[in-house]
Structure 1
């Protein structure tokens, strides 16, 4: 299966923006939507071609609400994502899988929220709630709108941080552009993080 990940812009709730609009909601209706990173929408498709086609269908929304659209294609790499442009180039045989590994964007990955003094996590009340395993977008507009709106709702005891969750998705931070010169990747040094996420990009994206 080929995975797709859409990372929302900082000033939007991506899941809400997608599911509150009929065209995007219809395009996503058959997929099991998850939140692999903070303010991201993830799903699985049957092939690289299907992933690229879906991104093309969602292009209007990607331009307005998405900072990064990535594809994880097992036939290319089990761990390194492809940018949307690179995924399309590989699908169209413009770039071979072996040629697609040179230019990289490496993100730091860190907790989206810091534990409070009681040892529980805090999340600002306007940030989206993570999906639970098995959640899916349905074709029922009313249900999807309600689910999307719930991600912005205040907790029962009024405005303020949500507490007590330990399954918050982590957030991608400060991408570092690097060129692969051997088997080992350069160390991410923009901030102190324990994990990183690697995205392969096209040469034009690398030089932009």
Structure 2
């Protein structure tokens, strides 16, 4: 299964922004939602093509609320993620999986001692739950005019079950380090002390040392 992980911008609450808007909610409705990192949303799809198609469907929201859109394809790497442009190239056949490893950025994973995130009512009476944090490699069409022009209102009359909060340790992505792989080795992350790292493979155009 190919994973898609969206990391929200600092000023947005990603799950709320996506699940409170009909077009995005419909695009995600067939998936089990996970939260591998702080302010993130992840799903499992059947292929790289399906992952890229889902990101295309959510493109309007990605532009406004998402800092990073990542794809993890086990046939490429069980441990590392692909950037959205690199996943698109892989889907289109313009790059082979063996050619994806050279350019990377490494995020530090910093533990957030207490993370609280309320589920979002999608209007059906069910509430999406968040998964526990996962560390390192085990972690992660345009909208309609109504979505673009209307600010959603929070649901205030949820049941006690809907208001239940998920607590526990989670991790945030911090300060990426841009690196090139040489002799199948990556440099160590040295920008700060962190508990773990997350590696994202990039296109050459995205690489900014």
> Which category describes the TM-score, using the shorter chain as reference length?
0.7 to 0.9
SS in 2 for 1:111: strand
Structure-2 change in CA distance of 1:146 and 1:69 (3 Å): closer
TM-score (norm 2): 0.78
Q: Which residue of 2 aligns with 1:190?
A: 191
Deviations 1:136-181 (A, max 9, x none): x99x53536898958xx9xxxxxxxx9x94x332111001100111
TM-score (norm 1): 0.78
Moved over 3 A (4+): 142-150
User: For the aligned residues, what is the CA RMSD?
Assistant: 2.8
Gap runs ≥5 in structure 2: 130-152, 159-164
Structure-2 change in CA distance of 1:149 and 1:111 (3 Å): farther
SS in 1 for 2:198: strand
SS in 2 for 1:31: coil
175-184 vs 19-28, greater mean Cα deviation: 175-184
Asked if structure 2 preserves the Cα contact closer than 8 Å seen for 1:13 and 1:128, the reply is no
Separation in 2 of the partners of 1:188 and 1:4? 24
Aligned length: 179
Structure-2 change in CA distance of 1:175 and 1:144 (3 Å): farther
Q: Which residue of 2 aligns with 1:97?
A: 97
Separation in 2 of the partners of 1:105 and 1:74? 19
Separation in 2 of the partners of 1:184 and 1:146? 39
